[in-house]
């Protein structure tokens, strides 16, 4: 289910489109630097392995603000870097011990993508991208299960796919809708390694927001 807040934010931004349509289109240019602020919905998938007791790891959906910066090498090619942090509740369903609460984990997943803009001079400008992600896990713990005393989630590398669209309101201001698919599969150590696990998170990241071009 797509989170409501990014959709609401996008609808609010769309109210400005009729007035913006009267302005001349500047388009994208080499050397442009664009700062973005978005509201994200982060939707992990459920899957993976748990050694010894079986079961399927699950991480909760969440929402968070995001900052990103984009630099245009040419009107068609840009580099985009996102910065956001998210909190997830983590469980393992269907183990030999029943459902097990692993507590919560914070993730910091900076992602760098190379984006291709086929219509850089249009007001409505879609793009596609591919990139790399490095996810840092921190503040793991706070399990409510009596059998869990420590959880460590390893930092991990992964690939990212990206699709989105920019809408130019003025030469400096614009709207953005962005979807990323991260391939994120960290190893997890429970109770100081007594139980090993791997979580196939592979989250969808869906964001809507505003951008300012310097």
* Of 55, 50, 59, 115, nearest in space to 82 by CA: 115
Mean pLDDT of 77-100: 90
Distance from the Cα of residue 170 to its chain's centroid: 27
Which helix (H) or strand (E) segment holds residue 12: the answer is: helix 4-14
Query: What integer is the mean pLDDT of 182-193?
Result: 87
100-129 residue pLDDT tens: 888 899 999 999 999 999 999 999 999 999
Residue 122 is classified by DSSP as: S
Measure the N-to-C terminal CA separation of the chain; round to a whole number of Å: 35
pLDDT in tens, 153-182: 999 999 999 999 999 999 999 999 999 999
Kindly report the backbone phi and psi dihedral angles of residue 18, in degrees, each rounded to the nearest multiple of 5, phi listed first: -55, -45
Name the percent of the chain lying above pLDDT 70: 89
CA distance 66 to 209: 9
This prediction has a pTM of 0.83
At 52 the three-state DSSP class reads: coil
4-14+28-213 adopts what CATH topology? Porin (2.40.160)
At residue 83, the 3 state secondary structure works out as strand
Residue with tokens 């993730």: 107
Domain boundaries, the chain: 4-14+28-213
CB burial class (10 A; 0-12, 13-18, 19+) of residue 57? buried
Tokens of 29: 């240019």
How many Å apart are CA 64 and CA 66, to the nearest integer? 7
Q: Which residue has the tokens 């969440």?
A: 62
Give all strands of the β-sheet with 48-50 in edge-to-edge order: 48-50, 195-199, 187-190, 151-153
pLDDT of residue 20: 46
Structure tokens at 111: 């992602």
pLDDT value of position 53: 82
């Amino acid at each position: 289910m797509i989170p409501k807040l990014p959709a609401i934010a996008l609808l609010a931004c769309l109210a400005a489109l009729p007035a913006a349509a009267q302005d001349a289109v500047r388009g994208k240019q080499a050397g442009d630097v664009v700062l973005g602020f978005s509201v994200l919905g982060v939707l992990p998938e459920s899957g993976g392995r748990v050694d010894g007791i079986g079961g399927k790891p699950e991480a909760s959906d969440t929402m968070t603000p995001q900052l990103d910066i984009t630099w245009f090498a040419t009107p068609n090619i840009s580099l985009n870097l996102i910065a956001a942090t998210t909190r997830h509740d983590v469980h393992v369903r269907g183990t030999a011990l029943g459902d097990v609460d692993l507590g919560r984990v914070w993730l910091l997943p900076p992602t760098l993508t190379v984006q291709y803009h086929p219509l850089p001079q249009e007001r409505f400008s879609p793009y596609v991208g591919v990139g790399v992600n490095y996810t840092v896990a921190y503040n793991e713990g706070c399990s409510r299960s009596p059998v869990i005393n420590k959880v460590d989630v390893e930092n991990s590398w992964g690939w990212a796919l990206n699709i989105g669209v920019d809408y130019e309101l003025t030469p400096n201001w614009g709207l953005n809708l962005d979807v990323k698919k991260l391939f994120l599969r960290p190893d997890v150590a429970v109770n100081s390694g007594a139980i090993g696990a791997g979580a196939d998170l592979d989250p969808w990241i869906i964001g809507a927001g505003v951008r300012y071009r310097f």
